[in-house]
Every structure is written in structure tokens, then in C-alpha cells.
Structure 1
Amino acid sequence: MYADSDVAALYDLLNPWDPGLNACDRFYHPLVMGADAVLDVGCGTGAMLTLARERGHRGRLVGLDPDRAALERARRRGDVAWVEGRAADAPRGAGFGLATMTGHAFQTLLTDDEVRASLAAIHGALRPGGVFAFETRHPGARAWERWTPANPDDVTELVDDAGRALRYWHDVDSVAGDVVTLRGTLADAEGRVLRVLGESLRFLGVARLDGFLAGAGFVVEERYGDWDRTAVGVTGPEIITVARRP
């Protein structure tokens, strides 16, 4: 079976942070490098901030995440501050110039109260003029309909750090309103299941999203429908937002 530490390592294999290869990473990297103080909310294993430090960022870098195993992996880098907590625990009055939520982490905020509390905390962690950049999948694209082992693009074959050949895929268990509940299954080459990872994701449309942002005191400055900075459409894959605290 896969332990929590194995799952944290697996995340890095499934989601390597590389601005040279991945358009989403290429979007965030210059924002991080151009900010003197950065809070990465939902930092996971810390790949984004680790790379920023490796490439010469000399300012304050703080990663915040509730997953202890992921943070233990992140803490291999000792010159970044790694803090256990949720988005709503973002430190008010901290004076960050930039806050981020990458990897669609915003979609793990499932209730209105959780969204409001998280945005209020992030707003409070930024100094006046500070920026909050994040993305969420556009509900019109209905991405969950492609999260199935019947879709070859959703099945990932990989080899882990121990040399084990693995296969990873998704199954959707339910769609209730704007919340999708799914499972990620990890199996070995013989098909034996090693770990099942469950999660729920919320798909907010532009109008609802902007209502929450305005309620928290943010002003939307940039909005894109994909990583090439095209406009948000009806069925485009993403809602990418750069909002500012006035």
C-alpha cells in the first residue's frame, strides 16, 4: 500500500512544476519572481516556491497547506517558511505583495462560508495593492465528464521513485449542484490497487466567483479563459483571475 509520504511524492510525479514545459506554471512563475513577499495558499509539496528560491528569489516566501505529508516533503527546502493550515488560516496583517492558489486548489473550497472565510483571510494577508492570483476550472467545459478510465487521456502510466510501474486514473462518484466528488485510483502494473484518493471539487461560474471576490474587497484586474491569455468563453477550460486588494 502507498503511505501518505508516498502519495506526496506521487503528486510531484503527476504534477511536475516546470515553467519551461507547462503553460500554467509559466503564467505564475514571473508573478512570483516579481513579488517581494509571496504566500502560496495550498502549496502542497512546495514545488513552485522551491523553484523560485532556486532561481534567485531573495524575498519572503511562505507556503500554507493542511497536508502534513506534503509539507514534510516541502520542508526539504529550509529557506522557505512552510506553515500547516488552510486558506482561512492565512495570516492577517502579514503584508504579502502576492498570494496564489495554483493547481485548482481554489476548487477545494466547497461551501459559501469556506469561500468567504478563505477570501477574507487572503485579503487580510495582503498589503494594500497586493495581488491574489488563482484559477478554477470553468463549469461550462464540464471537465468531470472526461475523468474516467475509459478516456485514455485520463490514464497516466508512470514509474515512481522506487522504480515501481504504476497506473493512475479517475472515477466520478457524484455531481451534486456545483460540487463533483471523485476518486483517484493508483494501481501497480498487475492491476492491484495501492491507494484510492477521494476528493470533492466545486465548479463556480464567473458571476458567482466575482460576487465572492467583491464581497471580500477584491477588484478583478485580469481575467483569462486559458493559459494563453485568451478571454473567458462559455465553455473554455479555465477561469484565471488576477485580483487586487485596493
Structure 2
Amino acid sequence: MDLTEDDVAAIYDVTDPWRAEPGTSDALYTEFAMSAQSVLDVGCGTGQMLHCLRDNGYTGRLAGIDPDAASLRRAQRRADIAVEWVEGTAADIPWKQEFEVATMANNAFQCLIEDDEVRASLTAIRGALTDGGRFLFETRHPQARAWEDWAAAEPRRLDFAGRVLVMSWEIESAVDGVVTMIETTSQEDGTVLHVGRDRLRFLDLPTLNAWLEDAGFVVEEQYGDFRRGPITSDSRSIVTIARTA
């Protein structure tokens, strides 16, 4: 039987669990968010970060927005925590000057493809933040050419709902900084259960910072990894903390 979109959301939680271990992206986001009284998670997915914050004793205001309805259904499965969930893109953010911190974890920023989409999203995030509010997000550094690693990766096997699934990846194209990747989930016998197609934009540092400045942000800190190391010629990530100008 083919996988449903709800199954795909549940599989994401299996393959990419939130683990706030030292030196990880999850730890940096958790630490950053815990220091604020109000947090907006843009591209919140299945809500793992916001669930983690509540589980760690966070008492402030939490909100998450994501365009994927199945992911939000999974995020809302926990009735024991108070979070405002909204279905929509970053550009659809309805809040105005209401949050001290906005986050965009797990390289979600790379899902913004067109220039107008980047511009509208940054403007909406800026508008949701209070004066002096800060925006933490990450994007893969194009110099590392991460898509080549994905293309060479061995299929991944996992147990899900009593059966073994096999996940594999193929790069359809890499043109003008936009990479299109096909993810196929199959049974052990090769029967295809689900095919996903993702497009990701890889922005270099000058271009990224120009977008932020145009949207009314000042870059406060930038790192090449999640241990707050500098950006170098070997960096695989661009981790940015920007504040409202």
C-alpha cells in the first residue's frame, strides 16, 4: 500500500528526530529560543522544536507556521502543550511585531526558491518581530556542494509501522544555484511507495546578506558550523543570527 502524506510526516520524525545534543543545530536553536519570551518557528514541520521547548520547561508564547498540512496535523497530535499552529508559507505570516525570536531550522530557508518568494518571506518574518527581535536560521554553504554527497549516498533502511522501508535519493538537476532532488521510498522488494521532489536554493554569503539588509535586518552573528566556528573555505553551513534594524 502506498504511503500517505501523514505517513511521510511520521517517517520524517523517525529519520530526523530533534536531538538537542551539544554542537548540533538542534542544541543551538533550543538554547536560542529558550532565552526569549516569545518564539515563532517558520517552517515548523512536525513541530519537534516547539514540542522540545515545552518539554524543557519553556513557558513563553510559541507559534509555528508551515505549508504542509500533514506535518501540521502531526505537530498538533500533542494536546498537552500550548502552541499556535498556522498553515501557510513564510510569506503568509499573519503576526505583526509580536515575537522576540523567529527561527527557521533544518535548512528550511533553502525551500525559498524565487527572488520574490525570498523577498516576501524575509519581509513577513521581519514584520512579525518586535523592535530588536532576532532571526536565527541556517542554509547550506554552496561551496560544499552537498548535493553531490546526496547523489552518492547509499540507500537508507528503516523500520516503520511494522515493515522495512528503503529510502534513496537522486539529483534531477543543479542549475543556477537551485538543486532538484528526488527521494524515493520503497519496500525491500523494490515496490515504490512514495516519490517526493524537493527544490532547494543555495545562496552564497554576499547574496544572502544583501537579501537580509534589503528586508530590514542587520547581521549580528554568522558561523560556519553549529559550534559557532567561523565561516571558512571549508564550511558546509552558513548559520545566521540577524536582528531587526
Question: Scaled by the length of structure 2, what TM-score is found?
Answer: 0.96
Give the alignment of 1:130-141 within 5 angstroms: 130-141=133-144
Look up the match of 1:27.
28
Deviation at 1:22, TM superposition (A): 7.0
User: In the aligned structure 2, how far is the partner of 1:17 from the partner of 1:166?
Assistant: 21
Segments ≥4 residues shifted beyond 4 Å: none
Seen in structure 2, the aligned counterparts of structure 1 residues 21 and 157 have a Cα distance that, compared at 3 Å, is farther
Q: Is structure 2 residue 199 aligned with structure 1 residue 200?
A: yes
Look up the match of 1:190.
189
Seen in structure 2, the aligned counterparts of structure 1 residues 22 and 69 have a Cα distance that, compared at 3 Å, is farther
User: In the aligned structure 1, how far is the partner of 2:88 from the partner of 2:236?
Assistant: 29
Find the residue that maps to 1:147 and give its secondary structure: helix
Q: Is the 8 A contact 2:153 2:169 kept in 1?
A: no
Deviation at 1:34, TM superposition (A): 1.2
Look up the match of 1:115.
118
State the AA in 2 paired with 1:93: K
Q: Which moved more, 1:195-204 or 1:166-175?
A: 166-175
Deviation at 1:200, TM superposition (A): 0.3
Q: Is the 8 A contact 1:173 1:181 kept in 2?
A: yes
Q: Which moved more, 1:200-209 or 1:29-38?
A: 29-38
Question: Unmatched 5+ residue regions in structure 1?
Answer: none
Look up the match of 1:44.
45
Question: Scaled by the length of structure 1, what TM-score is found?
Answer: 0.95
Q: Is the 8 A contact 1:96 1:130 kept in 2?
A: yes
User: In the aligned structure 2, how far is the partner of 1:204 from the partner of 1:191?
Assistant: 36
Deviation at 1:21, TM superposition (A): 7.1
Q: Is the 8 A contact 1:138 1:235 kept in 2?
A: no
Per-residue displacement from partner, 1:68-125 (whole Å, max 9, x unpaired)? Answer: 0000000112311110010011224242000000010000000111101000000000
Look up the match of 1:175.
174
Q: Is structure 2 residue 107 aligned with structure 1 residue 104?
A: yes
Seen in structure 2, the aligned counterparts of structure 1 residues 235 and 111 have a Cα distance that, compared at 3 Å, is farther
Deviation at 1:234, TM superposition (A): 2.5
Q: Is the 8 A contact 2:65 2:85 kept in 1?
A: yes
Look up the match of 2:91.
88
Look up the match of 1:232.
231
Give the alignment of 1:202-217 within 5 angstroms: 202-217=201-216
User: In the aligned structure 2, how far is the partner of 1:159 from the partner of 1:171?
Assistant: 22
State the AA in 1 paired with 2:15: L
Question: Unmatched 5+ residue regions in structure 2?
Answer: none
Look up the match of 2:57.
56
Q: Is the 8 A contact 2:97 2:131 kept in 1?
A: no
Find the residue that maps to 2:186 and give its secondary structure: strand
Deviation at 1:197, TM superposition (A): 0.5
Q: Is the 8 A contact 2:218 2:243 kept in 1?
A: yes
User: In the aligned structure 2, how far is the partner of 1:7 from the partner of 1:205?
Assistant: 31
User: In the aligned structure 2, how far is the partner of 1:20 from the partner of 1:137?
Assistant: 20
Look up the match of 1:151.
153
Of all paired residues, the percent bearing the same amino acid is: 49
Q: Is the 8 A contact 1:139 1:235 kept in 2?
A: no
User: In the aligned structure 2, how far is the partner of 1:69 from the partner of 1:118?
Assistant: 22
Per-residue displacement from partner, 1:25-55 (whole Å, max 9, x unpaired)? Answer: 0111111111110000000000000111111
Seen in structure 2, the aligned counterparts of structure 1 residues 233 and 21 have a Cα distance that, compared at 3 Å, is closer
Look up the match of 1:124.
127
User: In the aligned structure 1, how far is the partner of 2:119 from the partner of 2:50?
Assistant: 26
State the AA in 2 paired with 1:241: T
